[in-house]
Amino acid sequence: MSVADVATLTLVKLKEYTSTTFVKATRGISRSEFMRRSRKAFLVCLVVGVAAHAAGFLFYRSTVTQAHDSFYQHGVATTRSLAQECRPFVLEKDVLMLKVALRSAEKADGLVYAAILDHKNQVLTRTGPEELTRTLLPLNGQVATGSLDGTEFMDLITPDAQPLTLFSLPVTYSNIDIGKVMLAFSAEPLQQALSRLRATYLTVTTAVTLLLIGLLLGLDRRQKKRSKDLIQRLGTVATIGPYHLISKVAAGGMAELYLADYIREDGFRRRVAVKRILPHFAAHEDFVHMFIREARLAALLQHPNIVQVFGYGKIADVSFIAMEYVDGKNLGEIISGMKAGVPIEPAVFVFSEICKGLEYSHTKADDQTGARLNIVHRDISPQNILVSYQGEVKISDFGISKARSEPSLTQAGVLKGKLMYLAPEQLTGEDADHRLDIYALGLVFYEVLTGQAAYRFDSEIEAIRSIPSVRIEPLKVRNPRVPDELDRIVMKCLEKNVATRYQSAGGIYADLAAFKRAHQIAFDAADLAAVLKQHFKPAAQG
């Protein structure tokens, strides 16, 4: 490998490392508890800080420019005035009158040296130390650092470290150079003024930064205390309006699920499940918004194979969803309890029922406009399919589902849903629609019929890289008892290409119905209830 190749490779690796480190740091900060708690305050302070610093910098640069302009314009004006006054005396070489002109120029602020030269650059008269003559005259004729209105100027440092700016202008008569005036002004007052200005600018910007940091920390401390108080209060809550919490059933990443009784004033009582946002998220507006959005979307769906939402809202700072209580098990628990896989007849029945629920959600129309909402669940998994002891089959948790009319709540490049049940198109950046639910459903029932996941990976990175292309073994390889027709149905759900996959859950349901007719399967909800009770003991009801 050549030196150039090594250098190129090193630069590429360094760039990758820098980018990865930046992304990890940014992601870590954005996911921190501080950002979750005080994201809005942080963004407001950030915008105010950037605006204040930008305005301060522009003001600072403007003031610096004005100071420079004022200094140079003063030097140019004095130089031009002297050149105009001494023109006739240079022509006549009237030294006495030239000295008078110089004495007039000496009154200019900051002037430390002035000289009038003839056309041969010989000094006719001067004012100021002799040492400056030896320093400045050799510079005569050198390239200037700038010019203004024909007057050239040059910034320099004397041997004794004194900063000067030398201005020079030819003295002309009938457009012929007959001499030159040279004036040197001390730049020290300008530099001192700029130094004071710079110190003031840094002090103000530092003070603004510290003020904003202090304000942000104060707001965060207040929010933290509010969250802590809310957590303590919610931890003791036994009722939410008319809902009386009985026992905690489960806890997820954002909410916890309670068994509860809905008790109306007239004595009407109903057993329900209440999902309550976790106390430490209750003060976070983003989480509350997402939580209520889940309830609003799920409430649109009224179907026997979808968990029904009875109510949702916020009572005394508690955001909640009251929903149908399903007394039974989720498919994940059933698969774990029946390690060799679920028998074909109950599996096909459950499969068919879920297809009915998905077809309904995918084709649900807006009640007002009649337009199809195309609600996609996006998180079909064994844990989100519930089977009751009465043989009911229901889809739960539309928490990350998305309707066509809604903007995406997910930033580009961020995946939602359980990773093992994502469709290939979700990982390759292609447009994803309701057919991703069909792929996930295929994975779930592959697992139901075999007792094993279709694939396993050692890490999330490996899963993300492999899922779009990994080959899934035919169902019959894992479970030879599966009929060919059922194998084809499940494997068609698992087509990587969305065009060759089932295009609707209704299509799957139709093929399953044909399969049941061909094999004379008459399995129903009562049979499913018997199977569930045979393998799992119903929980005692309080």
Q: How far is CA 435 from CA 20, 297, 493, 503, in A?
A: 33, 19, 9, 6
Per-residue CA distances from 96 to 99, 114, 526 (Å)? 5, 15, 127
Instruction: Please write down the long-range contacts of 244-253, taking CB distance under 8 Å and 24 or more positions apart.
Output: 245/274, 246/542, 247/542, 249/273, 251/278
Residue 441: half-sphere exposure toward Cβ, Cα within 13 Å: 32
In degrees, rounded to 5, the angle at the alpha carbon of residue 467 between the alpha carbons of residues 465 and 471 is: 120
Residue pointed to by tokens 């509860």: 260
- Cα–Cα distance for residue pair 438/85, rounded to 1 Å: 95
**Residue 518 and residue 505: Cα distance in Å, rounded?**
20
Give the whole-angstrom CA distance, residue 53 versus residue 459.
44
Q: Active site residue: 94, 109, 261, 379, which one?
A: 379
How many angstroms separate the CA atoms of 88 and 247, rounded? 108
Q: Are 132 and 112 spatial neighbours (Cβ–Cβ below 8 Å)? A: yes
Instruction: Dihedral sign for Cα 340, 341, 346, 348, please.
Output: negative
In the structure encoding, which two tokens stand for residue 206, read together?
């530092």
Say whether 379 is catalytic: yes
Give the integer Cα–Cα distance in Å for 327 and 331. 13
What Cα–Cα distance (Å) separates residue 466 from each residue in 179, 262, 417, 420?
85, 47, 17, 11
d(CA 121, CA 178): 10
**Structure tokens belonging to residue 223:** 């929010």
Query: Contact, 159 vs 99, CB < 8 A?
Result: no
Count of residues in the chain: 542
Q: Around Cβ 494, how many Cβ atoms within 10 Å?
A: 22
Catalytic machinery residues? 379
